[in-house]
Structure 1
Amino acid sequence: MKFSRNTWLLIIAFFCVYVFWGSTYLWNKMAVQELPPFFLASIRFSSASAIIFAISKVLGYSLAITRKQLFNCVLAGFLFLAYGNGVFVWSLKWVDSGFASLLAALQPLIILLMMRIIQRKRLQWKSMVGVTLGLIGMYVLVSQNDIIAKEGMVIGILMIFTCLIAWCSGSLFVAKADLPSNFFVTTAYQMASAALILVVASLLFGESWKSPLDWQTQTQVSLICLTLFGSIAAFTSFNYLLKNVSPEKVSTSSFVNPVIAILLGWYFLGEELSLQTGIAALLLLTGVYFINSRKRTADDIIARKRPS
C-alpha cells in the first residue's frame, strides 16, 4: 500500500503526539533524579525557545509582539510551563511516572468543572458521566495504602493537582487572550518567559547548578529528548493535527499518553503495576472518553492545548 505525502505526515504527527508526549513522563523522571527540577525545566525551555525562535526566523515569521501580547505570553508561560510543568517535574522526585500520567489525564475533567463553576456552562450528559467516572477513578487511584505510604507521595500528588489547575486555568485564559497569530512564535515567547521565571525560582530555592558536561549520559539524553521531541516535535504535531483532522481524533492522545507512560515506567524504571491502579486507569480513561466524545465547541478545541 502506497501512502500519500499527507498520509505520512498524519502518521508521523500522531506518532509524535502519542509516543513523544507519553514519553515525557519517563524522560522527566529520569532527569530529575540527578538535576533539581526548576533548573532542569529552565534548561529545557530556554533551549526549546531558542530553537523555535531560530526556526521562526528562518521560515520568515514575524517576531513582532505588542506589550499586551507579551504580558499574555508571560502569564500563559507561567501557568503552563513555569508552574504547571516545573512543579510537576518537582513532584516526580516522589511520584512514579505512570501514576503521574494518570493524574494528568484528569485535565479534561478539571477544565469542564472550571468552565461550569467560572463560566456557568451547562454540562452535557456525557460530560456528567465522564466527570463521575473520573472522580471515582481518582479516588481508587489515590486511595492505595501502599502508594500513599511512600515518602513524599501525598505532597507530590497534591502538587500535581495544583499543576492541573494551573494548566486548565492557562487553557481557559489562552482561549480568550490576545496572542501572536502564529502559534510557533507564541510558543517561543511562552517558553522563553517560562525559562526566565524558572531560573529565578531555581536561584530563590538555592538549587545547585552543574554544567551539562558533568551530567550523566542518561540525563543528557533525557533533556535532549524533552527539548526536541517533547517541547518541539509533539507540540508542532499537535497543532498540525488540529488543522487537518477532527478534534475528536486528536483528543485520543488523552487515552494513549498514560498507557505509553505506564508501560515505559514499568519497563525502564521498574515501576509497579497493581490491579487497583489498572482499575483506576480504566475508570479514568473511560471518563476521559465520555468527556471527549461529547458535542464540542470552539473553546473546547483551544482548551485541549497541553504543555508537555
Structure 2
Amino acid sequence: MRTEASPQWLVVLAFIAIYIIWGTTYMAIAFGLQGFPPFVLTAFRGIIAGTLLISWCLLRGEKLPSLAVIGNSSVSGILMLVGGTGLVTWAEQYVNSGYAAIIMATEPFFFVLLDKKQWGNYFSNRWVLTGLLVGFAGMLLFFHYTSGSTQQTNDGAMLLIGNLVLLLGAILWVVGSLYAKNKIDHSHSNTLTTGLQLLAAGLFSGLTAAFTGEWSGFSIAAVPVAAWGGLLYLITMGSLVAYMAFTWLITIRPPALVSTHTYVNPVVAVFVGWIFANEQITWLQIMALLIILAGVLLTNVPNYKLAKA
C-alpha cells in the first residue's frame, strides 16, 4: 500500500464511486440485457473500456509491459470480469438485480476460504469462524426464501440455477483477485493493468458469445435505446470510474476499509431495482440479506482491528 498523501476530496469521491456506482451497475446490466445477449454485452463493455484505458496510457507515453505481465493481467481479468461479472450478467436473465447483488455480497467469505496462505490466521480467529457460520446461514435462508417466491416450477428451477451461477461468479472473482495479487507486476500503472484486464475479458467474452451462439441471433440495429444506455453506463461509470476507483483505493487505503463496499452495494442495488424496475423483495429476503452482511462484518473484525493498530 502506498503511503503518500492523497487529496481527501478525491478519496471521498472514490469511495462514493465504489459504494454507489457499483451498486447501480446491477440495474444497468438489466437494462443492457433488453437488447444484448449476456456475453455480447460483456464483450462490448470490456473491449471498449479496455481499449480506451490502454490508448490513454500509450498517449501519455507509457510502454506496454512484457508478455508475462500481459498474460497474468489477462488471466486475472478473464477470471474476474468474465467468470465474475460475465456470470452475473448471464444470471440476471433469471435473477433480478437486487438478488444478484445480495449473492455477490458473499465474496468476503470466499476470500477467507480460498486465501490458503492466511488460513492459519483466519481459522484460529473466533470472529472469522463466527462470521463464516452466520454468513452461510444467511445464504441458506436467502436461497430458501427465494426458491419459495415463485409458483411456477420452471421459473423456480431457473431462479435456483441463476443463484448458483452467481455463487460461482463470486468464487471466480475472488480467485481472479488472489491471482492478480500474487502474480501481477504492480510496477506498472493501475490504469494500464486495468485496461489489459478489461480488454482480455472483453475478447474472451466475445469468444464465449460465439461458442454459445449469441452472435448469430444478435442484431445491433434491433438494440433499443434503453439497452444502449445500460451499456454506456457500464462502460463509463462501472468500468472506467468505479473499477478504476477501486484499483486506486486499494493502493492507498487499508483493504479492510475499501472492502466495506460489499455492505453498501446490495442495499443500493435492491433500492434502485425497487425504484426503477419495480423489483419485489420480501421482508424475509431482507432479513437474510442482513444476516449475510452481519457475517461479512464479523469476518472483517480482525482486519479492522489491524487497520487501526
Fold shared per TM-score above 0.5: yes
Q: How does 1:1-308 map to 2 (within 5 A)?
A: 6-62=7-63, 64-116=64-116, 120-123=119-122, 124-144=125-145, 145-147=147-149, 150-151=155-156, 152-179=158-185, 181=187, 182-207=189-214, 208-211=217-220, 214-295=222-303
Q: Deviations over 1:261-296 (max 9, x none)?
A: 000111111111211111111111111111222137
- In the other structure, the counterpart of 1:304 is none
TM-score with structure 1 length normalisation?
A: 0.88
CA contact (8 A) 1:108 1:288 kept: yes
Q: 2:77 is matched by which residue type in structure 1?
A: G
Asked whether the 8 Å contact 2:34–2:226 carries over to 1, the reply is no
- Gap regions ≥5 residues in structure 2: 1-5
Aligned length: 292
Q: Is the 8 A contact 2:48 2:235 kept in 1?
A: yes
Alpha carbons 2:31, 2:229 under 8 Å: kept:
no
2:102 partner amino acid: L
Does 33-42 or 173-182 show the bigger shift? 173-182
Q: By how many angstroms is 1:297 displaced?
A: 11
**Which amino acid letter does the alignment assign opposite residue 53 of structure 1?**
I
> Which moves more between the two structures, 246-255 or 47-56?
246-255
Conservation of the 8 A alpha-carbon contact between 1:179 and 1:186:
no
**Following the alignment from structure 2 to structure 1, what is the Cα–Cα distance between the partners of residues 268 and 193?**
28
Contact 1:99 1:262 in 2 (8 A): yes
Decide whether the 8 Å contact of 1:79 with 1:169 is kept in 2.
yes
Cα RMSD of the aligned pairs, angstroms, is 2.2
> 1: distance between equivalents of 2:255 and 2:208?
36
Query: Would you say the 8 A contact 1:46–1:195 is kept in 2?
Result: yes
TM-score normalised to the size of structure 2?
A: 0.88
Give structure 1 stretches of 5+ with no counterpart: 301-308
Report the secondary structure of 2:35's partner residue: coil
Give me the identity figure in percent: 27
Query: What code does the residue aligned with 2:29 have?
Result: N
The amino acid of 1:281's aligned partner reads: L
Contact in 2 for aligned 1:69/1:180 (Cα 8 Å): no
Name which of structure 1's ranges 161-170 and 36-45 shifts more when overlaid on structure 2: 161-170
In 1, Cα distance between the equivalents of 2:120 and 2:177?
16
Q: Distance in 2 between matches of 1:119 and 1:295?
A: 12
Q: For residues 229-266 of structure 1, what are the alpha-carbon distances to aligned partners after superposition, in whole Å with 9 as ceiling and x for unaligned?
A: 10010122123323444333322211111110000111
